[in-house]
Structure 1
Amino acid sequence: MEHRHRLEDRTPEPNRVWIDLAGPDEAAIARTEALTGLALPSCADLREVERSSRLRRQRDALVLSTPMVSFDGAPGLHPLGFVLARDRLVTLRFQALPPFEAVARRQAEPDGPRTSTALFGALLAELVDALADRLEAMSDALDALSGRVFDFDLGRGGAPKRRDRALRQILGEVGRSGKALSMLRAALLGLGRIVPFVAAEAEPWLGPEEHTHLEILRLDIVSLEEFETRLSETVQFLLDATLGLVNMEQNNTFRVLTVVSVIGIPPTLVASIYGMNFKTMPELDWAWGYPYGLALIALSALAPALYFRIKGWF
């Protein structure tokens, strides 16, 4: 007996245990419904967010759905659906999912999963493993990003434009990490709801090993949710730190402008004084009056500049 079929342009045979609908249209769904006697959800149904829409019993089958992240290319969320019956499993997906291919390879092995519930458990296990790998990769990426944030030297980062570009890049990476984590959280939350629901509603179909497997998956998902929470806290911490660096950079800019404006006040005052045209001004008759005025202007600018330099303002 063959156990899996990926529906494309032909109708699957009645003895298929696992029917995998990849990107199905209405015609494909209708053919599968006619074959299996199961009512399959549409893509719009799979996108429903209410718990009652994502987890429900429909006659002798369980209709389950969850958002699932993309495991290749740009990150994104796509609906993933399961229709689980005692002797049939139908999956509906709208993206390439390597865990499904991994289960298909395992199914071809002599001791691979054969029943609908065993195939369902294997799919969940592969999805959980894939999500765990994504979280581990995110953890490594955040560690590297943390080093870049806290090693960032505002005083030695090059020209202001270059420092600004570097901070923008860091801020963008922090934002993308937060977005990716939110997608992983949604997928984990969906799987975390599916596992106990199936364990309770499909109890007559499950053997002792499958019950144990589902309980292990539930505990794994809980631990991954806790790990994701810590990563989310790290992302928030890095976001706050990066915004702090941006504020410091802005403060440095305002400080430089303040120092420059203060340095410019004494020369302006001296030039204003000697710009007055009073007949009795003694310096008007000096042979060295003009060099004296220039020297006084220069000295009035250098003195506050030296003072601010000693104080470490720039």
Structure 2
Amino acid sequence: MLTAYREHGNEWRGESAELPSTIIWLDLVEPTIEEQRLVERRVGIRMPTREALSEIEASSRLVVQRDVLYLSTPAISQGDNYESNISPIGFVLTPALLVTIRYSTLPTFDSVAERVRNDEALDCGVGVFVALLEAMVDRGADVLEHIGTKVDALSRSVFHDKNVAGNRPSRKSNRMRHMLTELGIHGDTLAQARDVILGVGRIASFVSDIAEDWIPDAFRKRLAAVSKDVVSLNDYETHLTDKVQFLLDAVLGYISIEQNDLFKILTIVSVIGVPPTLLAGIWGMNFHNMPELTWQFGYPLAWLAIVLSAVLPLIWFKLRGWF
């Protein structure tokens, strides 16, 4: 889908074969070949492919040809439940026009498009470009804040909520498995957010240096502010990553303790069962000459010996603090 934005919020969608004049922003969402050719013919630029936008090296993501900047970065496509997916987006920036190429619906682009429709201050391609970067940084901050809240809740559950799982091993195992899954999801989202934030910061710094001649001072200052925000968000993301790793180690440690306790119980039970089994095996032999068979109180004495052989090791383990 191709959407063109003109000055003062006028919007055009691809109903006709020709683009309108005085365009400040062309937004292509999963563009067709015909839409790409239309933009190339109208603007006089080459349209990057999805494979080119997915390149990870800086030489492919940050390219300048004459007065045209070709930029790309990953973006996080998310719903209300913050389930994240990485999708590449591309910017083609000229002194008069911004062209964006994306392959998923992004809330940041929708919010900036609404501002273009209603805000006359966004009346040039550079302004829209800076607004998009600012919106992506704000979105990244919201994602990190959301993950931070979830990680704090997991931390309280791991270290302070002692009665949630109860004493049933099955419930404890299910809860630990759930915690590991949550931590894995948060760690994966943090890695994606880090890629996006670093990409935005690299773009902001690159544009400020390369396009210094034709970017107004006000927008250059806002790009510098974006770079500073990226640095602070990167520090916060590092803090969250360390906290997720710490909680992961803690949960794995608790799982190891639970396993050790289980093996310890099994060991105690097996050791306690050895003496009674030995005595029962001895007195269960079918030899002809066994003095105990003629004892008047042999049967109750045998029971007493078997019970004591089980109870005495249990008392000894208890005194040693094994359970």
Counterpart check, 1:118 vs 2:127:
yes
Shift of 1:205: 1.4
Who is 2:52 aligned against?
45
CA RMSD in angstroms, aligned pairs only: 2.0
Structure 1 segment 157-172 matched on structure 2, within 5 A: 157-172=166-181
Q: How many Å separate the matches in 1 of 2:164 and 2:152? A: 23
Who is 1:2 aligned against?
6
* Residues 175 and 118 (structure 1), Cα distance of their counterparts in 2 relative to 1, 3 Å cut: same
CA deviation string 1:53-86 (max 9, x = no partner): 0000123210000011113153110001100001
Structure 1 segment 1-314 matched on structure 2, within 5 A: 2-3=6-7, 8=14, 10-11=16-17, 12-72=19-79, 74-151=83-160, 153=162, 157-314=166-323
CA deviation string 1:150-194 (max 9, x = no partner): 136499733211111111000111111100100001101111110
Shift of 1:210: 1.0
Q: How many Å separate the matches in 2 of 1:10 and 1:203? A: 36
SS of aligned partner of 1:76: strand
Shift of 1:110: 4.7
Shift of 1:279: 4.4
Which has the larger displacement, 100-109 or 230-239?
100-109
Q: How many Å separate the matches in 2 of 1:249 and 1:243? A: 10
The 8 Å contact of residues 72 and 91 in structure 2, kept in 1 or not, is answered as: yes
| Residues matched between the structures, number | 314
CA deviation string 1:193-247 (max 9, x = no partner): 1011100111111111111111111000011001000100001101100110111
The 8 Å contact of residues 165 and 175 in structure 2, kept in 1 or not, is answered as: no
* Residues 313 and 48 (structure 1), Cα distance of their counterparts in 2 relative to 1, 3 Å cut: same
The 8 Å contact of residues 6 and 20 in structure 1, kept in 2 or not, is answered as: no
Q: How many Å separate the matches in 2 of 1:300 and 1:313? A: 18
5+ long unaligned stretches in structure 1: none
Amino acid at match of 1:54: R
TM-score, with length taken from structure 1: 0.94
Which has the larger displacement, 143-152 or 243-252?
143-152
Which has the larger displacement, 11-20 or 255-264?
11-20
SS of aligned partner of 2:23: coil
Amino acid at match of 2:6: E
TM-score, with length taken from structure 2: 0.91
Which has the larger displacement, 119-128 or 299-308?
299-308
Shift of 1:10: 4.5
Which has the larger displacement, 245-254 or 270-279?
270-279
5+ long unaligned stretches in structure 2: none
* Residues 8 and 180 (structure 1), Cα distance of their counterparts in 2 relative to 1, 3 Å cut: farther
The 8 Å contact of residues 82 and 90 in structure 1, kept in 2 or not, is answered as: yes
Shift of 1:310: 3.9
SS of aligned partner of 2:225: helix
